[in-house]
Chains A and B, each alone.
Chain A
Amino acid sequence: MAELSNAPAPTPDQLVDIYRRMIRIERNDDAIRKTIRLGRLVMPYYSARGQEVIPATLSSLMTDDDKICTIYRGIHDMVAKDMPLRPLWAEIAGRVDGTCKGKGGPMHLTHPESGVMVTTGIVGSSMPIANGLAWAAKLDGSKRVTIAYFGDGASNIGAFHESLNLASVWKLPVIFVCQNNGFAEHTRYENGTSVDFIAKRAIGYGMPGHTVDGNDPLAMFAAAHEAITRAREGEGPTLLECKTFRFHGHVLGDDDKYMTKEEKAAAIAKDPLPAFKAWLVEQGHATEESLAAMQATIEAEIEDAQEFGLASPLPSVDELRRDVFAQEIPA
């Protein structure tokens, strides 16, 4: 893995913390996919398996007060931000103990206590709202930062361009994090995007833009550190393009006709999780045993959350009249 010399090196604790977030994402994703296959969960699932490093690294540099806006492929972003798993599982099961009382589901998970402010099912729509959260931070005189997560496809929608321009004009403490997994739904990057690197688009909006290996925790740490520091210090927004790969297509059950088997296998062979784990042990930052114990704790947390979520009651039909407005709609 490439060491960058122009950014502070992550401490061993930070590196292990990044791994903890990654394995929590991966184990949780694995459990969701298995539960769907068993027919115990019925939901559209946009797995982010393979993209763990990006939010794990950014979240390791964020405080509880910092905010994120994410998208339908965003459960990894929430788990990285340490969203509690019990209400997450209850929500994806459509139950009353869910973060959103079962009314939002996997594409609209919201948990302000963890800083998960908005999850949108509309490509690109995390960005305009993130700007508003960042504006509020400025008005509050706070140093908190907001991250807008989105995919490569979203860099072609109008909201991206309007948002980057406004963020730059208003010098907002926001970081636009593009998780470029090479495909906009089924369309290969180069068939839908005019530039070879999305980061180049930052030039048009007067902000720094960096393309980073989104599967390399050290490269991600350096880029994330710079962007977050810049936002906290009031210097304005940054566009980060983090190159990665999604292992399970656009939506679970997708037959991946738009890529070759060899291409997919080669990408999966570069799975950042085992590589980072081996590196941590090799560098002496952790031991096989300590990481196995960490994984066991996480697996127990996930099992508990799954049982809790699937056992939670179904919502009452009266919920259709609640939360439309602050005041309940009369029956």
Chain B
Amino acid sequence: MSAKKMNSLQAVNAALHQAMAEDDKVIVLGEDIADREGGGVTGATAGLSTKFGDDRVKSTPISEQAIIGAAIGAALAGYKPVAEIMLMNFTAVAMDMIFNHAAKLRFMSGGQSTVPITIRTLTGAGWQTAGQHADHLEGWFAHAAGIKVVAPSNPVDYKGLLLSCIQDPDPCIFIESAGSLFIPAEVPDDLAPIPLGKARVVQEGTDVTIISWSSQVIRCQQALAPLAEAGISVELIDLRTVSPWDKEAVLASVAKTGRAVIAHEAVRHFGPGGEIASTISEELFGQLKAPVRRLGAPYSPVPFAKVLEDAYIVSPDQVVETVKALMA
């Protein structure tokens, strides 16, 4: 079996090429995505318009509502559009199309309408892009019944989960996060689609379960060595899909360890960690050895100054300290 070393953006590009080659109903649209415009600001869509033509791969004006609307309409007519919203904060401009339409048309039509769109969107702190270019907004979309929210952490998952999103019969938000984009890994050429809603156990352990997703998984991985040195056995779960989330995997792990920490890059206040922590407490109250802890960004916009941005992101040290405190 052959494999190629690639980063997560290259994995996205490979998934798009594969999906378009396998299914001529897959079409792609977004700002600057065609090769004439440079193949996307991150290069994630490079080569697609040259290979599959300008009808199936369309650069758009800077019109987020029109982009998502066009994706929805084409989906209603049998296509599987992959729309790029350049940055996750710009989904705010298209929220009516995403929240009131893409998410709800199946339900409101009694199952007649199906909206199999994938919205790829880039975000994440770490590049000093400040308050309107870096928010992790998965909680917004997880709160909207009818949308799946996918947030991979590594090149294999980026490719395998994107393939699943594109073929999924429901709308998916696919989050490409700054902190996870450039760490290369071997990705099999014939990688099978990775099912949505299934978590991955990054490391098995017996003392504490850490639940995370997207770039925060990498910062949790960096906490594993110091925690092992401290004699703490950590089970790290990469949720991969934020909604619907893999409740079974999380509860099974916490039932074993009796301790849980949820770590995410999104703001902690009303963040997705609250839902997961609450479910753990409801389901496993008697088995918990310590209160469930949540780690997330402070209740603040993403800042510009490097010193502030560093403080904004949940660091590996914070993960280490929080886990150690749970064991004390």
- A-side residues, CB < 8 A to B, are 67, 69, 98-104, 108, 110-112, 117-118, 120-122, 125, 127-140, 146, 158-159, 162-163, 165-166, 169-170, 322-326
Q: Give complex CA distance A285, B64 in Å.
A: 49
Residue count of chain B within 8 Å CB distance of chain A = 42
- Give the interface centre of B55, B96, B148 by most chain A CB atoms within 10 Å: B96
Across the interface, which residues of B come within 8 angstroms of A101, CB to CB? Answer: 110-111
Across the interface, which residues of A come within 8 angstroms of B285, CB to CB? Answer: none
Contact B100 A120 (CB under 8 A): yes
Contact A132 B69 (CB under 8 A): yes
Contact A118 B76 (CB under 8 A): yes
* Min C-beta distance of B317 to chain A, whole Å: 39
B112 interface residue, CB < 8 Å from A? yes
Across the interface, which residues of B come within 8 angstroms of A67, CB to CB? Answer: 77
Contact B106 A129 (CB under 8 A): no
A104, A129, A131, A325: the one within 8 Å of B109 (CB) = A104
* Min C-beta distance of B88 to chain A, whole Å: 19
Across the interface, which residues of B come within 8 angstroms of A120, CB to CB? Answer: 100-101
Contact B73 A162 (CB under 8 A): no
Q: Give complex CA distance A122, B68 in Å.
A: 15
Contact A323 B106 (CB under 8 A): yes
Contact B108 A135 (CB under 8 A): no
A108, A112, A131, A169: the one within 8 Å of B69 (CB) = A131
Contact A325 B106 (CB under 8 A): yes
Once A136-B77, A159-B96 are accepted as A-B contacts, the answer to whether A129 and B112 lie under 8 Å apart by CB is no
**Could you list some 23 contacts between A and B, CB below 8 A?**
A100-B110, A102-B110, A103-B109, A108-B109, A110-B108, A110-B112, A112-B112, A117-B73, A117-B76, A121-B100, A129-B72, A131-B66, A136-B77, A136-B78, A136-B79, A139-B79, A146-B73, A162-B61, A162-B64, A165-B61, A166-B70, A169-B61, A324-B146
Q: Give complex CA distance A120, B100 in Å.
A: 9
B74 interface residue, CB < 8 Å from A? yes
Once A122-B100, A128-B97, A132-B77 are accepted as A-B contacts, the answer to whether A159 and B69 lie under 8 Å apart by CB is yes
**Extra 9 A-B pairs, beta carbons < 8 Å, given A118-B76, A125-B96, A128-B73:** A99-B110, A101-B110, A102-B110, A125-B100, A133-B74, A139-B79, A162-B65, A166-B61, A166-B70
Across the interface, which residues of B come within 8 angstroms of A158, CB to CB? Answer: 65
Across the interface, which residues of B come within 8 angstroms of A117, CB to CB? Answer: 73, 76, 113
Within 306-325 of B, Cβ neighbours of A (below 8 Å) are at none
Across the interface, which residues of B come within 8 angstroms of A323, CB to CB? Answer: 106-107, 109-111
B105 interface residue, CB < 8 Å from A? yes
Across the interface, which residues of A come within 8 angstroms of B203, CB to CB? Answer: none
B264 interface residue, CB < 8 Å from A? no
B27 interface residue, CB < 8 Å from A? yes
Once A131-B66, A159-B69 are accepted as A-B contacts, the answer to whether A118 and B58 lie under 8 Å apart by CB is no
* Min C-beta distance of A161 to chain B, whole Å: 8
Nearest A residue to B83 via CB reads A132
Contact B74 A136 (CB under 8 A): yes
